[in-house]
Structure 1
Amino acid sequence: MNFSKKNHDFHKRNRKFMSKNQIFKVATVLFIGLSIVGCKDAKNKTEASEAEEVTKTTGEVVVYKADTDGSTLAWKGAKLTGTHNGTIKMSEGSFSVQDGKLVGGNFIVDMNSITVLDIEDAEKNGNLTGHLKSEDFFDVENHGNSAFAITGVEEKDGKTFVKGNLTIKNIKKNIEFPAVITVSDTDVSLKSEPFTIDRTEWDIKYKSGKFADLAKDKLIEDNIELQVEVKATK
């Protein structure tokens, strides 16, 4: 019996197995690394600060009522294994315009209207939607509405930035985001760029790495990406 040949073949197969195994491990590490970078690549991250007083405008102000059907608030959340996205409806709102410029605005968002758009299976979609409405996240039974009140509009770095008090779960923080604003005699439109907020600033701490000692694939990213589009008419 040729033990030398068999031993040679065994080591050859073993080297191939180890080579494939090493490639798999490297690929896995790279995938996880890229996923983590992707989750943390926050767009226009806004730093929440103390709520500011809404400036009272003197003089003549024109009020434009928000078209709630034509306005949207889109959201996107992430974890290591993927993302979810959806929308939330605005229940009421208005812009204040003076001398052709946007000077204020107040909006109410119906948190009971939150939807998930990326899950087609009805049962799984319902499970996630229900979880988002629970105490782990937005606690809509006790906090059915969120709100946003504009505290300022300013130009900087060639862009228009909107500042305002965002209230979620009865916690009010001031945020800022870039947006394109159009004002005419009959209409006002505001469309933000995608921007992110840190959900933990509004006491949404479920599976946050700041408060839980969990494996990375169990954590949910603190940043929530939002994009707002509001249309209003006189």
Structure 2
Amino acid sequence: MKKLLPFIFLFFTFTLFAQTKNIISSEIRWKGYKTLKAESLSHNGTIKLKSGNLVFKDNNIIGGNFVMDMTTMDAEDLNEDKKLKKMFENHLKSDDFFDSAKFPVSTFQIKSLKKLNNPAFNYQINGVLTIKGISKNISFPAKISDFKNLTTITSAKFTFNRKNFGLQYNIFEDMLISNDVEMNITVVAK
């Protein structure tokens, strides 16, 4: 028991001095390309956030967690063709890619932040992205701002390698798809 006392003390100290804000609005945008990165050979859309929070200490973000609802993937570029849109979205949600029936959520956990000397993106956010049960470290620049008790995080455009998360289609089709998936994220916490 004596060995556990320091850990218990640290836990309660952290809990007493940390503040949590819940995410009240979000926009998560994605874009994927064929191997030739042309706009005409791309798809883009959104994913809805299921839940999320930011953890603060001394008015600085020290952590956070975002849960993305993978069943809500939307291919906005196909809005004009409802049949093709539905077919493509079902393809993305199938076990060909995200397997949202088996893995209905993906998560991002903030591990650390680094202040940057850049007014457009004033922090580097480091964390762990988990897709299909596979976790990988990722980092991206972001603008963090506070206004009237609201904290907003707006990321720069960043990419992740889909193959690192087991997002692969059959070998012939897969060769035509770029490995990089672009993301932009904006969240507001209160």
Residue aligning to 1:134 = 94
The answer as to whether partners of 1:100 and 1:184 remain within 8 angstroms in 2 is: no
Match of 2:140 among 155, 174, 177: 177
What amino acid sits opposite 1:108 in the alignment?
Answer: V
1:47-196 paired onto structure 2 within 5 Å: 58=14, 60-67=17-24, 70-79=25-34, 80=36, 82-119=41-78, 120-156=80-116, 158=118, 159-184=122-147, 186-196=149-159
Q: 1:220 aligns with which of 172, 177, 190?
A: 177
RMSD: 1.9
More strand by share: 2
Q: Take 1:110 and 1:60, find their aligned partners in 2: how far apart are those partners?
A: 31
How many residues align structurally?
170
Closer/same/farther in 2, CA of residues 166 and 213 from structure 1, 3 Å limit: same
Rounded to whole Å, the distance in 2 between the matches of 1:169 and 1:157 is: 35
Alpha-carbon distance in 2 for matches of 1:184, 1:126: 39
Which residue pairs with 1:202 in the alignment? 165
CA shift, 1:155, in A, is 2.0
Q: Which has the higher helix share?
A: 1
Provide Cα deviations, 1:139-175, integer angstroms capped at 9, x if missing partner: 0010000001100000245341001110000001110
Conservation of the 8 A alpha-carbon contact between 1:189 and 1:231: yes
Residue 188 of structure 2 aligns to which amino acid in structure 1? K
Residues 71-96 of structure 1: per-residue CA shift (max 9 Å, x gap): 01100000136100000000101001
SS at match of 2:71: helix
Q: Identity over aligned residues, as a percent?
A: 34
1:97/1:103 contact within 8 Å kept: yes
List gaps (5 residues or longer) in structure 2.
1-10
Output the CA distance in 1 between the equivalents of 2:101 and 2:172.
28
Secondary structure of the corresponding residue to residue 136 of structure 2:
strand
Q: Which has the larger radius of gyration?
A: 1
Give the 4+ runs in structure 1 shifted more than 6 A.
Answer: none
* Partner secondary structure for residue 200 of structure 1: helix
Displacement of 1:220 in angstroms is: 0.5
User: Where in structure 1 are there 5+ consecutive unaligned residues?
Assistant: 1-55
Relative to the length of structure 1, the TM-score reads 0.68
